[in-house]
Structure 1
Amino acid sequence: MPVVWLIIIGAAAGFLATRLMRLETDVITTVVIGMAGAVIGGLVLRFLLVVSGALAGLVGAVLGAMLLIWLWRTYFRK
């Protein structure tokens, strides 16, 4: 079933991409373009999510450390 789903999504993505880019292709080429685009786009999107996730983790860690320092200065240091 995943292969059939990939072909259907690839056909739709290829159709949209070829129309947006004003490229006239046959059905097989359109499906192949869509499937390849789905693979490339999926890899790029996953990479961006990992990078942004790591940066979000860094920001969260810095904010957490700042909160801890504030709490320590406010309540425990006299």
Structure 2
Amino acid sequence: MPIVLLIIIGAAAGFLATRLMDLDADVPTTIAIGIFGALIGGLVLRFLLMLTGLFAGLVGAVLGAMLLIWLWRTYFGR
């Protein structure tokens, strides 16, 4: 997946994940959560389910970002 597409999908995934998890974050944090979530979720989903395509990447990115938010709240919570 090209890096620009990863950033775009990651930004969208971060936005969705922060809204679904009710997290108040600034734009750079939201994008970073989405990009790292895209890496985590995309790799896990592709490994476990052998899914390909843009939709699988978005779903994986959102799930990965939600996992990252959960871990952040659990271990570095406010």
Compare the two structures and name the one with the higher helix fraction: 1
The aligned counterpart of 2:15 is 15
Structure 1: tracts of 5 or more residues without a match: 51-78
The aligned counterpart of 1:53 is none
The RMSD of aligned alpha carbons is: 1.7
Q: Deviations over 1:14-51 (max 9, x none)?
A: 0000000000101110001001111111111122125x
Q: What is the aligned-residue identity percentage? A: 76
Whole-angstrom distance in 2 between the partners of 1:44 and 1:33:
16
TM-score, normalising length from structure 1?
0.57
Higher relative contact order, chain-length normalized (CA < 8 Å, sep 6+) = 2
The aligned counterpart of 1:28 is 28
The residue correspondences of 1:1-78 to structure 2 (distance < 5 A) are: 2-49=2-49
Aligned pair count reads 50
Q: Which runs of 4+ in 1 moved over 2 A?
A: none
TM-score, normalising length from structure 2?
0.57
